[in-house]
Structure 1
Amino acid sequence: MNWVCVLIGAAVGAPLRYLTDRAVQGRHDSVFPWGTFTVNVVGCLVLGVLTGAVTYGAASHSVQLLVGTGLCGALSTYSTFSYETLRLAETGARFLAAANAAASVAAGLGAAVTGAAVAQAVWG
Structure 2
Amino acid sequence: MTWVLLALAGGLGAAARFLLDSVVARHNRLATPLGTVVVNVTACFLLGLLTGWGLTHPGRDDVLAVLGVGFLGGYSTFSTASVEGVRLLAAGRTTAALVHAGTMLVASLAAAAAGVALAA
TM-score, normalised relative to structure 1: 0.92
Which residue is 2:21 aligned to?
Answer: 21
Q: Distance in 2 between matches of 1:30 and 1:110?
A: 22
Q: List aligned pairs for 1:1-124, cutoff 5 A.
A: 1-57=1-57, 60-120=60-120
Q: Give 3-state SS (helix, strand or coil) of 2:18's partner.
A: helix
- C-alpha offsets along residues 22-68 of structure 1, whole Å, 9 cap, x if unaligned? 10011013331110000000000000000011110178212111110
Q: Which runs of 5+ in 2 are unaligned?
A: none
- C-alpha offsets along residues 72-96 of structure 1, whole Å, 9 cap, x if unaligned? 1011011100000110111111111
Opposite residue 55 of structure 2, the aligned amino acid is T
Task: Give the stretch that moved more between structures: 36-45 or 87-96.
Answer: 87-96
How far 1:2 sits from its partner (Å)?
Answer: 2.1
Work out whether residues 43 and 72 of structure 1, in 8 Å CA contact, stay in contact via their aligned partners in 2. Answer: yes
Q: How many residues align?
A: 120
Work out whether residues 25 and 35 of structure 1, in 8 Å CA contact, stay in contact via their aligned partners in 2. Answer: yes
Q: Distance in 1 between matches of 2:57 and 2:5?
A: 19
Q: Distance in 2 between matches of 1:38 and 1:15?
A: 15
Opposite residue 116 of structure 2, the aligned amino acid is A
Describe the shift of the 1:73–1:85 C-alpha distance in structure 2 as closer, same or farther (beyond 3 A). same
How far 1:113 sits from its partner (Å)?
Answer: 0.2
Q: Which runs of 5+ in 1 are unaligned?
A: none
Give percent identity, aligned residues only.
36
Q: Distance in 1 between matches of 2:58 and 2:22?
A: 33
TM-score, normalised relative to structure 2: 0.94
Stretches of 4+ aligned residues off by more than 4 angstroms: none
